[in-house]
């Protein structure tokens, strides 16, 4: 007699073919988790559908057999949103990676959820258009996952989050219904737009199985300025000075401690001879003969006021990429230390006061730990990373850090901010959702989950619990 597990594998193989159901331990470990540290995946199987019809059959089977499903895209998340630890079936979208249609008049691309961010960017450029959502993991992150977490990145200050670019989507709900949402319409005032419920839902309502993405005009030209500061609070005054007179594509921030890891890991030369405590990287649109002069004038003003103490400006796209490395390579440079990560945000106007109190709090509660500040400060998003000391195990280190997590999130709550600016809630931040969302909001989230996924088969245990 076959076991229930063997029977399930057989049913899945009937749907997608035996080749596309994986149960080997190496596959279970690889596809059963994301980039979250210190987790132990335990899925029962990995299944690779290739069509909407196969997705519908998998969901129907899961409802019939009461089997939980976990969506798997590029698995670049940092909150355990793609973690399968309770014998779930992981549904990978690696085979659903086709660009289905391009419409030049509408500036829309329709594609499957397994298309990577970089593939979409490159396709758009071939059509002399632009997809502006960008981040370090663009080569491996998939669009379905980007939408499910409402990914942000380095260009949010000008172009907004992923949500801004989703003009339509098809989903298969947890109940097994196929919904075609908004259909690429620019204007649609015909009631509730369920598209926005699925954006940021982290796979808890259903599977995103097709996307219609809007595109923008190609940037006409950009230049990068890297400035050094001795006071973290001054970054926001510098932001205001540049943003008032130039069109900014990005405004990034990082500490000298973070830069030191990049320089060491990648054998780079520091940007300035003298050490600055903090740095701001500013990318602006440089399309007229006066833009460069304006930028130079703003820098000189900030220098005279003591806001910045040094600076350099790119003279070519190659130099701009070199300057970007100081910011973009931070995450990879510190990954070997298993850092404890926080991805938090407040309103832009509150950043100076928030940073001042956060810095004071961290110095008091982490006196012996190396703390790194960096992030998309131009849109109010700060990444707080704490580096694990060599003498501590990862488990003991995380235990120590979690003792003060509520103190950090309590400060976020005080400023009306978010405990997750762009990484999502997943498993790791679910206990702290109450610091960003009211009791009433969480109750409504659970109610929405029950409507779309009454049997709780879609990524259970993430974001909110309904049992």
Residue 460 lies in a domain: no
Per-residue confidence (pLDDT) for residue 389, from 0 to 100: 84
Contact 43, 88 (CB under 8 A): yes
Per-residue confidence (pLDDT) for residue 3, from 0 to 100: 62
Torsion sign (Cα): 76, 409, 462, 202: negative
Closest CA to 10 of 53, 38, 47, 40: 47
Any idea what the CATH number is for the domain that residue 260 is in?
A: 3.30.70.2190
Same domain, 318 and 417: no
Closest CA to 295 of 250, 247, 252: 247
Per-residue confidence (pLDDT) for residue 388, from 0 to 100: 85
Same domain, 84 and 106: no
* Residue ending a domain, choose from 159, 188, 217: 217
| pLDDT exceeds cutoff 80 at 2 | no
Same domain, 284 and 375: no
| DSSP 3-state of 333 | helix
> CA distances (Å), 251 to each of 63, 114, 295, 370, in order?
46, 30, 14, 24
Residues 24-61: tens digit of each pLDDT: 999 999 999 988 877 789 999 999 999 999 999 999 99
Same domain, 343 and 415: yes
Residue corresponding to tokens 């309502």: 205
Residue 138 lies in a domain: yes
* Residue ending a domain, choose from 48, 78, 94: 94
Q: Give the separation between CA 254 and CA 237, rounded to whole angstroms.
A: 16
Question: Over the chain, what is the mean pLDDT?
Answer: 94
Q: Where are the beta strands (DSSP E) in 349-392?
A: 370-375, 381-387
Residues 378-420: tens digit of each pLDDT: 999 999 999 888 888 888 888 888 888 889 999 999 999 999 9
pLDDT band with cut points at 50, 70 and 90 for residue 251:
very high
> CA distances (Å), 6 to each of 3, 16, 22, 42, 443, in order?
5, 16, 12, 16, 38
Contact 237, 278 (CB under 8 A): no
Contact 174, 134 (CB under 8 A): no
Any idea what the CATH number is for the domain that residue 356 is in?
A: 3.30.70.2740
Residue 465 lies in a domain: no
Sheet harboring 69-72: ordered strands across?
21-22, 45-47, 89-92, 69-72
Number of domains in the chain: 4
**Which residue range forms the structural domain that includes residue 191?**
99-217
Residues 429-451: tens digit of each pLDDT: 999 999 999 999 999 999 999 99
Residue 198 lies in a domain: yes
Same domain, 152 and 200: yes
Residues 339-375: tens digit of each pLDDT: 888 899 999 989 989 988 988 898 888 788 898 999 9
Any idea what the CATH number is for the domain that residue 15 is in?
A: 3.30.43.10
Alpha helix ranges (H) inside 66-155? 117-126, 143-149
**Mean pLDDT, range 453-458, rounded to an integer:** 97
CA angle 28, 452, 43 (to 5 degrees): 10
* Residue ending a domain, choose from 164, 187, 217: 217
Residue 105 lies in a domain: yes
Residues 122-168: tens digit of each pLDDT: 999 999 999 999 988 888 999 999 999 999 989 999 999 999 999 99
Per-residue confidence (pLDDT) for residue 454, from 0 to 100: 97
pTM of the model: 0.93
| pLDDT exceeds cutoff 70 at 1 | no
Residue 467 lies in a domain: no
């Amino acid at each position: 007699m076959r076991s229930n597990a063997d029977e399930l594998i057989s049913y899945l193989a009937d749907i997608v073919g035996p080749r596309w159901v994986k149960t080997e331990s190496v596959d279970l470990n690889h596809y059963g988790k994301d980039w979250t540290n210190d987790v132990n995946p335990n899925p029962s199987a990995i299944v690779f559908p290739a069509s909407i019809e196969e997705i519908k059959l998998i969901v129907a089977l899961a409802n019939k057999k009461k089997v939980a499903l976990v969506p798997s895209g590029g698995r670049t998340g940092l909150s355990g949103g793609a973690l399968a630890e309770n014998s779930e079936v992981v549904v990978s979208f690696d085979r659903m990676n086709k660009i289905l249609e391009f419409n030049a008049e509408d500036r829309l691309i329709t594609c499957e959820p397994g298309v990577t961010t970089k593939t979409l960017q490159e396709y758009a450029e071939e059509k002399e258009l632009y997809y502006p959502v960008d981040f370090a993991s663009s080569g491996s992150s998939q669009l379905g996952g980007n939408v499910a977490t409402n990914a942000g990145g380095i260009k949010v200050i000008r172009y907004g989050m992923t949500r801004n670019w989703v003009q339509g989507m098809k989903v298969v709900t947890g109940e097994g219904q196929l919904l075609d949402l908004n259909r690429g319409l620019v204007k649609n005032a015909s009631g509730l737009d369920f598209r926005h419920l699925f954006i940021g839902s982290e796979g808890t309502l259903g599977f995103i199985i097709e996307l219609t993405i809007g595109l923008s005009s190609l940037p006409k030209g950009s230049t990068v300025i890297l400035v050094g500061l001795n006071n973290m609070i001054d970054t926001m005054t510098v932001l205001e000075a540049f943003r008032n007179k130039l069109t900014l594509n990005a405004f990034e921030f990082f500490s000298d401690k973070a830069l030191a890891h990049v320089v060491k890991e990648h054998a780079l030369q520091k940007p300035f001879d003298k050490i600055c405590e903090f740095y701001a990287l500013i990318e602006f649109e440089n399309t007229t003969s006066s833009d460069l002069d304006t930028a130079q004038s703003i820098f000189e003003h900030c220098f005279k006021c003591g806001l910045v103490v040094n600076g350099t400006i790119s003279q070519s796209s190659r130099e701009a990429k070199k300057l970007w490395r100081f910011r973009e390579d931070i995450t990879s440079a510190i990954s070997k230390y298993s850092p404890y990560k926080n991805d938090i945000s407040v309103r832009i106007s509150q950043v100076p006061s928030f940073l001042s109190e956060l810095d004071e709090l961290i110095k008091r509660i982490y006196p012996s730990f190396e703390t790194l500040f960096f992030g998309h400060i131009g849109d109010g998003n700060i990444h707080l990373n704490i580096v694990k000391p060599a003498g501590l195990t990862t488990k003991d280190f995380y235990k120590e850090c979690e003792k003060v997590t509520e103190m950090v999130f309590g400060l976020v709550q005080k400023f009306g901010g978010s405990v997750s600016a762009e990484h999502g809630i997943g498993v790791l931040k679910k206990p702290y959702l109450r610091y960003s969302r009211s009791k009433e909001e969480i109750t409504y989230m659970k109610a929405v989950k029950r409507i779309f996924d009454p049997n709780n088969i879609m990524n259970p245990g993430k974001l909110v619990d309904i049992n």
